[in-house]
Structure 1
């Protein structure tokens, strides 16, 4: 019985592909004893897919916040680096989502920036090192974004397949019970 849901294929991250039930009769040989457990297995797999989808959606939301932040930081550091010929530069910077401040910087002597790395850690980097680090993080996050979008598409397809399967199982059982009453 558990062989039904044993994955024949999976995606590159190991998410199993949902089987498609062509004929319910080929899966359920003894309806009185097998139907409830098979239906339960299919519903559990469907819930697993939905949980994975929820997790991937949260990861997607996190990346959709991180990537623009990294791009903003890169823009500021590149601007500082390009303005090294000037004595002073005035920039607006974000303190909070809705709060900005203006600062005048001595650009000739500005050779490093502090980057917030998370987990209450901030480190000083030279401008070139900061650009290199942020470009690397941007590239990795964009790759992760592509992977998560692929996984979400794969999960949506499998959720649909499992919803169709459970509907077919349910409808088959309803028809079977009607025939038995006659």
Structure 2
């Protein structure tokens, strides 16, 4: 499941069931994002896998690029989640204000609302028993204040859980990026060592011919 789908599901779901979160490695594995293998002993790895150095270097470069792309995508989704959390918190605060005004038996309340970026307007609310909430997919439903407050609070909890999971996945990806960078360094150093050995043998052969 993509991070974007997780955001949409969290923000539109009305279920009261709590889905137990899988460990981050299991979640990533299900999306075919595997943990990077640590290449400490390059010579042993090449012998065991029957591979040549150039091929393994290219594989690790591909892995590095993939992890970086996934990290970029996750960061973008993280920004969307943060924005959603802020929107929900503002909506819940507005509902709390309406509930307080209703309890005070206020006849009306003056509010400022956003029409567009940097464009706001004032409105007088004289009906504080019900509100309309966008549920997504161009669907708006009318709720009693208390029902709306409960619904948005549940949605916010779901999104915050998604936010925590996204943080875990970002940490996972960054760990794999670091591992892959170390692997590339080890492969490069092993290549340098091979060239030095090859140059040394070549020099020895030249000296033996003189």
TM-score by length of 2: 0.74
1:57 matched to 2:62? The reply is no
Which residue is equivalent to 2:39?
21
Find the residue that maps to 1:21 and give its secondary structure.
coil
Q: CA deviation at 1:33?
A: 6.0
Q: CA deviation at 1:75?
A: 0.8
Which residue is equivalent to 1:78?
96
Which residue is equivalent to 1:176?
194
Which residue is equivalent to 2:168?
150
Q: How many residue pairs get matched?
A: 170
Contact persistence 2:85–2:156 (CA under 8 A)? yes
Structure 1 stretches of 5 or more lacking a match? 1-9
Separation (CA, whole Å) in 2 of partners of 1:169 and 1:44: 14
Which residue is equivalent to 2:151?
133
Structure 1 residues 103, 33: CA separation in 2 closer, same or farther (over 3 Å shift)? closer
Find the residue that maps to 2:142 and give its secondary structure.
strand
1:105 matched to 2:119? The reply is no
Q: CA deviation at 1:181?
A: 2.2
Q: CA RMSD in A?
A: 1.9
Find the residue that maps to 1:95 and give its secondary structure.
strand
Which residue is equivalent to 1:119?
137
